[in-house]
Amino acid sequence: MKSFSRRKMYVLIGISVFLISASSVFLVISKVPNFGILGSTSSDCVPYNVFVSKGEKNFSVDIAWSTRAECIGFVQYGRDRDNLDQVVVDIVNIRKSKSHKVTIEQLLTTEVYYFLVNSQEQAYGNNGVPLEFVMENL
């Protein structure tokens, strides 16, 4: 049973590394304005209805959003607005999707966390500034 859990963990890590790498490549090689490498116009992948709520597990938060087109998305987050050094990938909707949800775990309840929603090649916040939340205020 241990090897199955370990194998599952390695698969999830591999998928996360692949998605992060692919997103970085898309950011670098995109040259056509307002058109995504994966076929959707960037305006169709703008996140809307972004919700932050307490997660099912203790010390976790769910961030959910929608897009008009099927897009790939992930969230960058951290405790420093200028250094979003953590990434969480929507492992339920690894492929392109219109509904997205990520869960961030092991958070401190009184700390301020900042995040950007990444959709296709673009990071979204509040006019370029990361959004924020505090777990105890949710």
Parallel, antiparallel or unpaired: strands 97-104 and 112-119: unpaired
pLDDT tens sequence across 64-112: 999 999 988 999 999 999 999 999 987 766 678 899 999 999 999 999 9
Structure confidence at residue 105 (pLDDT): 96
102 contacts 62 by C-beta, under 8 angstroms: yes
Q: Which residues contact 131 (CB under 8 A, 6 or more apart)?
A: 50, 52, 114, 115, 116, 117, 125
- Does the pLDDT of residue 8 top 80, yes or no? no
Average pLDDT score over the chain: 79
Judge residue 128's burial from the number of C-beta atoms within 10 Å of its C-beta, 0-12 exposed, 13-18 middle, 19 or more buried: exposed
- Does the pLDDT of residue 19 top 70, yes or no? no
**Residue from 98, 49, 55, 47 nearest 75 by CA:** 47
CB atoms closer than 10 angstroms to residue 32: 8
Going by pLDDT thresholds of 50, 70 and 90, the confidence category of residue 7 is low
Domains and CATH numbers, the chain: 2-137 (2.60.40.10)
Poorest-pLDDT segment among 5-14, 34-43, 125-134? 34-43
Query: Which amino acid is located at 80 in the chain?
Result: D
Structure confidence at residue 81 (pLDDT): 95
**pLDDT top residue among 104 and 14:** 104
Sheet holding 61-71, edge to edge: 48-54, 61-71, 97-104
